[in-house]
Amino acid sequence: MLAYIVRRLLLIIPTLLGIMVINFLIVQAAPGGPIEQTLAQLQGTGVDATARIGGTSGGGDLPPQAQQSGGEQAAGRYRGAQGLDPEFIRQLERQFGFDKPLHERFFQMMTSYLTFDFGTSYFRDQRVIDLVIDKLPVSISLGLWTTLITYLISIPLGVRKAVRDGSKFDIWTSGVVIVGYAIPSFLFAVLLIVLFAGGRYLDWFPLRGLTSEGWDLMPWWQQVLDYFWHITLPVLALVIGGFAGLTMLTKNSFMEEVNKQYVITARAKGLNERRVLYGHIFRNAMLIVIAGFPGAFIGILFTGSLLIEVIFSLDGLGLLGFEAAINRDYPVMFATLYIFTLLGLLMNLIGDLTYVAVDPRIDFEARRT
C-alpha cells in the first residue's frame, strides 16, 4: 500500500502541471485581461462582479499607475487604450508582469507556487494567501456541516427505504426526495429567507454574515450559539440539494446487494435479518457511499456554495474565485485553481484509501498486476 500511495503522490505532479498549463493558456487567450479591466475602470466603463460585503467592490481600488490621466497617442494592443500614452500602457504591462514572454510568466508562477507564494492580488492590494486564509473559515463551515448533515440524513433514510421498498414509507419519502431533486439550493435559500429571516413571515434567523457584531467579546458558549444561529439557514439550503442524490444512491446500493448469493446464503444459515443487513450487506453497500465522502466535501466546499454565499452575504472562497474570474484578477484565479486542484487530487487519494478502510479485501497493489 505504501508503494501505491507514493505512486499516486508522484502522479499528482504531472496532473497538476497539466491542469495549470491548460487553464493558463485558456485564460491568457480570453479577452478582457487585467490591463483592459484597468483601462475600463479608468475610463469609467468598468463593471464590478458583485457588491462586496461590508467593503469595497470586487474590482477594488485602481492600481497607482491606473489613476494617471491619459496621454496623447493611441496604444493599439489593448481594447480601450485609445487616447492613452503608449508609455503608460507599458507601465501597466510591467506592473502586471505582461512585459515578459508567456512561457516565462508561467514558469515563474509555478516556481513561486511550489513554496505557496501566490503573489499579490491585482485589484485588492492584499497577498493572495491572506485572502484565501481569510475566506477559508466560511467555506469550511459550509462544506463540513453540509456534508456531515447530508450523510447523517441520507444513509439512514436510504437504508430504511431499501428495507421497506414499496411500502407507504418508501412512497412518501420518495416524494420528499423528488422535491429535493426539483428545488435548487439557491431557490430553497430564498424560500428560507422569506419564511424565517424577515423576508415576509418570521424573523428568527440573521440574513448576513457568519457571526454577529461584537462576537469576539461574547463568552464562548454565546459565540457557539451565535455561530450556529447564523449558519443554520445556509446549511439547510445546501443540504436540500445534496441529500436527495445520496439517499437514492444508498437505497440503490442496498437493493443491489440484497439479492446477491452471499445474502441468500446468510439467510439460509438462519441469521436474523438485522445481522444480515448490518453484518453483511451494510459494509458492501456503503463502500461507494462512504468512500465518496472526501470528494463530496471538496465539491461542496469549493463549487457548491457560490450562490448560497451571495444570497446570505457570506464572504467565502466560492465568491472570491467568482469575482477573481470576472475581474481578471489572475493571481487570485490561478492561486485558487492551484489550491482547489491540489486538494481535489489529494482527496481522490484519500477516497481510495477510504475504500480500503471500509473493505480491507480491496487491494490496489493486486490490481496493478
Length of the chain: 369
User: Could you give all domains of the chain from N- to C-terminal order, each with its CATH number?
Assistant: 2-125 (no CATH), 129-367 (1.10.3720.10)
CA distance 78 to 327: 16
**Residues 189-229: pLDDT tens digits?**
888 888 888 767 788 888 877 888 888 888 889 888 988 99
pLDDT at residue 70 in the model: 39
pLDDT lower than 70: segments of the chain:
41-86, 88-89, 199, 291-292, 294-295, 297, 299-304, 358-369
Count other Cβ atoms within 10 Å, centred on residue 61. Answer: 13
pLDDT at residue 16 in the model: 92
150 touches 245 (CB < 8 A): no
Instruction: Name beta bridge partners: 127.
Output: 120
pLDDT at residue 339 in the model: 86
Measured CA distances, 329 to 122, 157, 176, 228 (Å): 6, 44, 42, 33
pLDDT at residue 76 in the model: 52
Write the CB contacts of 360 (distance below 8 Å, at least 6 apart in sequence): none
pTM of the shown model: 0.73
